[in-house]
């Protein structure tokens, strides 16, 4: 019963995320995208956000550290060292990935790579202080550092303060200390992007 309730809540939450990200993409005029972290979408709550992005942009690559069967060009790789050139695409999506890449230095590196490869990004992560832990469906146990230590489902869950500290100062962070999810919206300043904004065709990954 608990897991069914968590699943239903997750689906609603992800649909809300998808709508906010779709609005951001339209505002940015994004045409190409890369997914950093992806899943096969076999569960009802999976790939909701990714499909929304795919409806609005050309997904040039979907990257993960494990082989995954997805309907987009798949690339095996590490979020901390993306195998793409600078300003490769208009938009990078890292949906609930940052809590899996390692400790704080690894998370910072992932954000730096998203800034390098995309002219904009959305990074999302579950709130460590939300009563239900999204990966395991446990209540409150994840508030204990002892319980979190050594878990295989994640590496470092984040509070709002910790998440804000990882993303650029000019990123817009959506969420409250009690929100289930945090979202960071970032776009490169026009002066920094220069002529990159007009580069809408990209070399496809092999």
The tens digit of pLDDT for each residue in 34-51 reads 999 987 766 666 789 999
Write down the number of H helices and E strands in the chain.
6, 7
What three-state secondary structure class fits 101? coil
Domain region containing 23: 2-194
Count how many domains the chain has. Answer: 1
pTM as predicted = 0.86
In a domain, 204, yes or no: no
pLDDT value, residue 133: 81
Residue 205 lies in a domain: no
Is the residue at 60 inside a domain?
yes
Listing from the earlier edge strand, what are the strands of the sheet with 172-174? 74-76, 58-64, 32-36, 91-95, 120-126, 181-187, 172-174
Query: Which parts of the chain have pLDDT scores under 50?
Result: 195, 197-204, 206
Tell me the per-residue pLDDT of 136-176, one tens digit each, with 9 for 90 and over: 888 878 889 888 888 888 899 999 999 999 999 999 999 99
Domain contains 201: no
- Residue 42 belongs to some domain of the structure: yes
pLDDT at 41: 67
Beta strands in the chain (DSSP E): 32-36, 58-64, 74-76, 91-95, 120-126, 172-174, 181-187
Judge whether 200 lies within some domain.
Answer: no
The CATH number of whichever domain residue 65 belongs to comes to 3.40.50.150
Pick from 184, 144, 131, 158: nearest CA to 5: 131
Residue 78 has φ and ψ, to the nearest 5°, of: -115, 130
Q: For residue 171, give the DSSP letter.
A: P
């Amino acid at each position: 019963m608990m897991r069914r309730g968590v699943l239903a809540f997750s689906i609603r939450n992800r649909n809300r995320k998808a709508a906010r990200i779709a609005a951001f993409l339209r505002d940015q005029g994004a045409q190409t995208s890369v997914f950093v972290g992806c899943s096969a979408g076999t569960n009802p709550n999976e790939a909701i956000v990714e499909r929304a992005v795919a409806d609005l942009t050309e997904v040039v690559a979907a990257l993960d550290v494990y082989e995954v069967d997805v309907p987009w060009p798949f690339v095996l790789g590490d979020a901390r060292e993306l195998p793409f050139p600078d300003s490769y695409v208009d938009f990078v999506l890292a949906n609930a990935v940052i809590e899996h890449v390692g400790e704080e230095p690894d998370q910072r590196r992932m954000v730096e790579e998203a800034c390098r490869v995309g002219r904009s990004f959305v990074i999302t992560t579950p709130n460590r202080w939300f009563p239900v832990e999204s990966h395991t469906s446990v209540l409150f146990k994840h508030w204990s550092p002892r319980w979190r230590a050594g878990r295989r489902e994640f590496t470092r869950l984040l509070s709002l303060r910790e998440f804000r500290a990882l993303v650029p100062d000019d990123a817009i962070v959506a969420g409250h200390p009690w929100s289930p999810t945090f979202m960071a919206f970032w776009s490169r300043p026009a002066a920094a992007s220069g002529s990159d904004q007009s580069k809408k065709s990209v070399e496809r990954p092999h």
